[in-house]
Amino acid sequence: MTLVRRIARPMLAAIFVEGGIDTLRHPQGRAAKAAPFLEKYLAPLGVTQDPELLVRANAAAMILGGSLLAMGRLPRPAAALLAGFLVPTTVAGHPFWAETDPAARKAQQMHFQKNVGLLGGLLLAAVDTEGGPGLAFRAGMAKDAAARATKTTRRQARQLARSAKQQAKLGALHAKGAVS
């Protein structure tokens, strides 16, 4: 792991771990803020609407994902997990479009934009292959290798067929006594 990754991952993960711990300790405020969002989007799905439970589950996911990312353990899945949980957290937690007070609206908009920036960092971390080839490259290479193997096998099959045909002709001539 490069020095930049060794430093950047914990820096990116710190806000998720700290925020998750704080939410586990004091879920009430965030649960109250999330309740309208949860009611609107989870009620039709039949998912539990206990805001405090869901906020705590979100916090646990943030702590887990942040810890894994910070330690460099499964960094790509950890970053994807964090990104997945950050989207609803941002929409439910910072609905600046619903604010009427200009100062509160501006504050919520800043937090919303901060989370969008964090989401961008998480997306980069989720696709970071640490200099190695990514899945798309490896899939393309496997496709090319399969195509080359198929072409080689076809060529060898044609050569074997020609050779067998020649052997059959020689065998027929030998059977007639034309060749000794």
Domain boundaries, the chain: 3-127, 134-180
The answer to whether the CB of 69 falls within 8 A of the CB of 125 is yes
pLDDT band at 1; cut points 50, 70, 90: low
Mean predicted confidence (pLDDT) in 167-173: 86
Confidence at 180, pLDDT banded by 50, 70, 90: low
Residue 81 has pLDDT above 70, yes or no: yes
pLDDT at 179: 60
Distance CA 169, CA 172 (A): 5
User: Which of 39-48, 68-77, 127-136 tops mean pLDDT?
Assistant: 68-77
8: which residues sit within 8 A by CB, 6+ positions away? none
Q: Which pLDDT belongs to residue 9?
A: 94
Per-residue pLDDT at 177 exceeds 90: no
Say what the pTM is.
0.68
Residue 45 DSSP one-character state:
G
Q: How far apart are CA 41 and CA 119, in angstroms?
A: 21
More confident residue, 176 or 108: 108
